[in-house]
Amino acid sequence: MKFQRDHVSALREGALASAPLLIGIVPWGIVAGVAMVSAGLTQVQAVAMSVLVFAGSAQLAVLPLLIAKAPLWVMCATALVVNLRYVIYSAVLAPHFEHLSRPWRALLSYITVDGIFALFVGKYGPDEAKPHKHWFFLGGSLVMWTGWQLASWVGIFAGELIPREWSLEFSATLALIAVLMPLLFDRAAVCAALAAGGVALIAAKWPLNVGLLAAIAAGVVVGLAVARFARPNGGEGAR
Amino acid sequence: MTGEAWYPWALIAGMALVAFFTRAVFILPGSHLRLPATAERVLRYAPAAALMAIIVPELAFTQNAVSISMENPRLVAGLVAFALAAATRSILATIVGGMVVLMLVRSLAG
């Protein structure tokens, strides 16, 4: 059964390649676990969120809004915007996975994370006909999924042992800063972030937390404007 | 609060749908859909804007008022964390460094 062995070796290769990424995901998962419980979720709800949502930055982004009792639609809209990067990943990954069955495509969609996307795209070109590449993706993603869930559960169940005056919930904000950094890939992205931060400060007291959405919109407009301005030949060649 | 027990569950369900939708939107249909260039450009900047819009008020507000000063421990710790994140690209270093600075500034102020 040569076929089977190739699956297993691609799975193992993906798992090994992703292992170094665990160093980043474990502290982040613990922080998310602590933050979910200190935002008022029960332990069961926190576990459900970590398994069903499985999107660390969206989870951490929504928790301050949950504490501030923001409306449901504002929280979901915020999660959507933070997760928009996955739409790009989805578009890039789609041609790689289009030959697979629907359950496979659903599984690989659910389990997509930033680090494995980067590894996978770095390893396989868009038209590369490697029949086992989805096993590589699955192997890496399973390692990340398991690491994230275990780390979250440590935070959820052991977080209450940590004294409140340590303000461990602040580490959620620090984790977001670390996650933000790779997204500041050019001057336009930096300007987008600065504009969003400024408007968020001004609009923080607007009702229903819509100030947050206004800040994001302002950031996107500034980012697009700077990107266009920085490129004298206009929109062509935008990549 | 007793009447609002469903609220976190609704949030979890909504976020689960959002998280799956954003990841599956092109993978699951399986056809050769292409992302329009304009949409791609908007999608490039939105996540950075969203994260910054969440981070800045968390750092700048103390007791419901904006405090831009060296005596605001969260702001100082946050700025150090930005520098650490830029220099090391490490989540661990950013969290640990930021927390240490938070404690230091607090103990100096207290």
Closest CB to B85: pick one of A40, A166, A181.
A181
Reported confidence tier of residue A4, pLDDT bands at 50, 70, 90: confident
Which parts of B65-109 are beta strand (E)? 65-66
Is residue A239 predicted with pLDDT exceeding 50? no
Residue B19 and residue A81: Cα distance in Å, rounded? 10
Distance from CA of A118 to the nearest CA of B (A): 14
Which pLDDT does position A2 carry in this prediction? 54
Residues of chain A positioned with their CB less than 8 A from the CB of B13: 52
Q: pLDDT tens digit string along A103-138?
A: 999 999 999 998 899 889 888 876 677 888 999 999
Q: What is the mean pLDDT of residues A76-91?
A: 91
Closest CB to B47: pick one of A41, A81, A173.
A81
SS (H, E, C) chain A: CHHHHHHHHHHHHHHHHHHHHHHHHHHHHHHHHHHHHHCCCCHHHHHHHHHHCCCHHHHHHHHHHHHCCCCHHHHHHHHHHHCCHHHHHHHHHHHHHCCCCHHHHHHHHHCCCHHHHHHHHHHCCCCCCCCCHHHHHHHHHHHHHHHHHHHHHHHHHHHHHCCHHHCCCHHHHHHHHHHHHHHCCCHHHHHHHHHHHHHHHHCCCCHHHHHHHHHHHHHHHHHHHHHHHCCCCCCCCCC
Cβ-defined contact of A84 to B46 (cutoff 8 Å):
yes
ipTM confidence score: 0.87
Cβ-defined contact of B99 to A223 (cutoff 8 Å):
no
Distance from CA of B80 to the nearest CA of A (A): 10
**From the CA atom positions of chain A, what is the Rg in Å?**
20
